[in-house]
Amino acid sequence: MLIDFFLHLKASKLPVSTKEFLVLLEALQEHVVEHSLDDFYVLSRATLIKDETHFDKFDRAFGEYFKGVEALPGMDVLIPEDWLRQAMKKHLTDAERAKLEKYGWDKLMETLKERLAEQTERHAGGNKWIGTGGTSPFGHGGTHPEGIRFGGRSEHRSAVKVWAKREFRNLDDDIELGTRNIKIALRRLRHFARQGAAEELDLEGTIAGTARNAGWLDLRMRPERHNAVKVLLFLDVGGSMDDHIRVCEELFSACRSEFKHLEYYYFHNFVYEWAWQDNTRRHTERILMLDLMHKYGNDYKLIFVGDATMSPYEITQPGGSIEYNNREAGAVWLRRLTECWPHAIWLNPEPEHFWQYRQSISMVHNLMGNRMFPLTLDGLERGMRLLSK
């Protein structure tokens, strides 16, 4: 089994060697870690991968090979704690779920303050306190249609605000595209200029010069052409955008190769006071939006990439961000950005026919002046056509 795993890593174009694989086998024989899949993942990555830039590719290859496997063969498996917690969740009918009261932003925040002041112990499965499962609007893993979620992930994605530590990873700009279609679509947005020291062969000039020179080769060169369009890219990461990592990495990779003048920044869910360029340092190396607005001229083309799927409060309310208490509403910042860079579009990886059923998408669509396009080849064509005007 482990030999097949090693060959799978090689097929995934990871630089693993036989020597490193033997080190892994020796570590297993010496019982360096417990025989669980999680322990094996940590050990195999530590022994086989020597460059942290390959961590993401290793994670994808590991997940593909061990998909559906809970533990290494021959070892007993304990029931995961999160399975037990999910089992406590109350399963409500549609009618029962419809009866649950929606508080609204102000009442929800006021009630949360009261709960924090009163609660002294852990709760699970209830309808009032902060806890797990149940129908309370505060906690994690419950079924309330609106509320504040503390930590973890939820299949409902209906939380108004989420307090949790999140770790996002940077998008990989080295993804090999299955087709060249995305690049071709992006080429609608281009303005060629000749600049820099790089040169290319001037074939017509060489032929003409050679003819005038009685057949003696007269080699003519000219400066290489570059796409002179300036692009400012804002990428939504984390949360519901995890479902769209592959297509966003393909877009990001294509943009890096097509646009000579490309600047990119990350945000989570919606744009507020700051953005960042490295997700691993997003809490310590934030960049103020006002600084970006002063740094880049209005000749830049502004492209947002995000599913616009969030609580409406994140767009309309100060303090609505699920990461911190923002002083101004996200809608205010989006208007500022589109006024600073009027040539702007929003690319949405969610299917276009879903947009009408999600309030937040409709709100962002309107704030963008209907300049939202699906992240498909047709959507890219339409978006690039609009930006090129």
Which whole-number Å values give the CA distances from 152 to 132, 163, 290, 375, in the listed order? 10, 9, 32, 28
Residue 377 or 182, more confident: 377
Most confident of the ranges 63-72, 201-210, 260-269: 260-269
Residue 218, pLDDT > 90, answer no
168 domain residue, yes or no:
no
* Residue 79 lies inside a defined structural domain of this protein: no
Question: How much is the pLDDT for 12?
Answer: 87
Is the pLDDT score of 325 beyond 50?
A: yes
- Asked if residue 388 lies in contact with residue 189, where contact means CB atoms within 8 angstroms, the answer is yes
Q: Supply the pLDDT for residue 367.
A: 96
The model's confidence at residue 91, banded by pLDDT at 50, 70 and 90, is: low
193 has pLDDT over 50: no
**Residue 100: its pLDDT value, please?**
52
Q: Residue 171 falls within a domain, yes or no?
A: no
Q: pLDDT-derived band of residue 86, with 50, 70 and 90 as boundaries?
A: low
pLDDT for residue 122 is more than 80: no
Same domain, 131 and 272: no
Query: Both 145 and 208 in a single domain?
Result: no
**Buried b or exposed e, range 329-368, using 16+ CB within 10 angstroms:** bbbbbbeebbebbebbbbbbbbeeeebeebebbebbbebb
Domain identity same for 253 and 366: yes
pLDDT at 177: 38
Q: What does the pLDDT read at residue 58?
A: 86
Q: Give the least confident one: 61-65, 235-239, 303-307.
A: 61-65
Amino acid 77: pLDDT:
44
* Judgement on whether residues 380 and 272 belong to the same structural domain of the protein: yes
Q: Tell me the residue type at 57.
A: K
Radius of gyration from C-alpha coordinates of the chain: 26
Place of tokens 């300049």: 371
Please choose, from the candidates 56, 51, 43, 64, the residue with its C-alpha nearest in 3D space to the C-alpha of residue 15.
51
Residue 17 scores a pLDDT above 80: yes
Q: How confident is the model at residue 74 (pLDDT cuts 50, 70, 90)?
A: very low
* Per-residue confidence (pLDDT) for residue 357, from 0 to 100: 87
Residues 6+ apart with CB under 8 A from 91: 143
Domain check: are 25 and 134 in the same one?
no
**Weakest mean pLDDT among 10-19, 158-167, 201-210, 264-273:** 158-167
Task: Using the predicted structure, report yes or no on whether residue 338 has a pLDDT greater than 90.
Answer: yes
* Domains held by the chain: number: 4
The top-scoring range by mean pLDDT among 68-72, 88-92, 150-154, 258-262 is: 258-262
Q: Kindly state the percentage of the chain with pLDDT values over 90.
A: 23
Q: Are residues 255 and 338 in the same domain?
A: yes
Tell whether 91 is covered by a domain.
no
Predicted pLDDT at 192: 40
pLDDT of residue 5: 85
- Average pLDDT in the chain: 76
Residue 378: domain span: 181-189+228-387
**Are 32 and 101 part of one and the same domain?**
no
When pLDDT is averaged across residues 326-345 and rounded to a whole number, the result is: 95
* 254 and 351 share one domain: yes
Domain match, 366 and 232 both: yes
Task: Give the confidence band of 242 by pLDDT, cuts at 50, 70, 90.
Answer: confident
Q: Are residues 381 and 237 in the same domain?
A: yes
The phi and psi torsions of 268 (rounded to 5 degrees) equal -120, 120
3-state secondary structure the chain: CHHHHHHHHHHCCCCCCHHHHHHHHHHHHCCCCCCCHHHHHHHHHHHHCCCHHHHHHHHHHHHHHCCCCCCCCCCCCCCCHHHHHHHCCCCCCHHHHHHCCCCCHHHHHHHHHHHHHHCCCCEECCCCCCEECCCCCEEECCCCCCEEEECCCCCCCCEEEEECCCCCCCCCCCCCCCCCHHHHHHCCCCCEEEEEEEEEECHHHHHHHHHHCCCCCCCCEEEEEEECCEEEEEEECCHHHHHHHHHHHHHHHHHHHHCCEEEEEEEECECCCEEECCHHHCCCCCEEHHHHHHHCCCCCEEEEECCCCCCCHHHHCCCCCCCCCCCCCHHHHHHHHHHHCCCEEEEECCCHHHHHHCHHHHHHHHHCCCCEEECCHHHHHHHHHHHCC
Are 368 and 269 within one domain? yes
pLDDT of residue 324 exceeding 90: no
For the cut 60, the answer to whether the pLDDT of residue 339 exceeds it is yes
